Structure 1
Amino acid sequence: MPIVTIQITREGTEGGADAATPEEKAALIKGVSQLLLDVLKKPLESTFVVIDEVDTGNWGWGGLPVLDYRKKRASARTGSAS
């Protein structure tokens, strides 16, 4: 019985969205389950998929909280474009 955990940030793919949509989550579940069936012959009925949405305040990148890191990268790009 496979159990797959997908961690995604609590940000939507569309501007201003604060989470993945139910349709996006359903597509992830379907796609991962189908992949396990195709590759490992694991039946869809025995595959569990857990989607864990992580708030942007709860993860970091490059030694900084992610929002601070993104600001730093944006400033670096703006500064190098001058």
Structure 2
Amino acid sequence: MSAAAHGHTPAAWTGVTIAFIGFTVSGVAMIIPSIPLFWAGLVVVVAAGVVGKAMSMAGMGKQPSQNFAPTPTEERTPVTA
């Protein structure tokens, strides 16, 4: 899995870090009963997705592979019973 470099980009790290902070805030809000703080944490989690996507679109995400070669299609024969 690591050979695909899945998630090893600044956009991915930033998004995950912000989401972790949001989940932590919401978790603390559940321990000390605070409904506004809980929702604020969830807003931070949603913002993490927006920030990660914006950074990816700005070029800080995984770049598409330039050496794309389509795999040859195989002709399949129908199976009859």
* TM-score, structure 1 normalization: 0.30
* TM-score, structure 2 normalization: 0.30
Larger radius of gyration between Structure 1 and Structure 2: 2
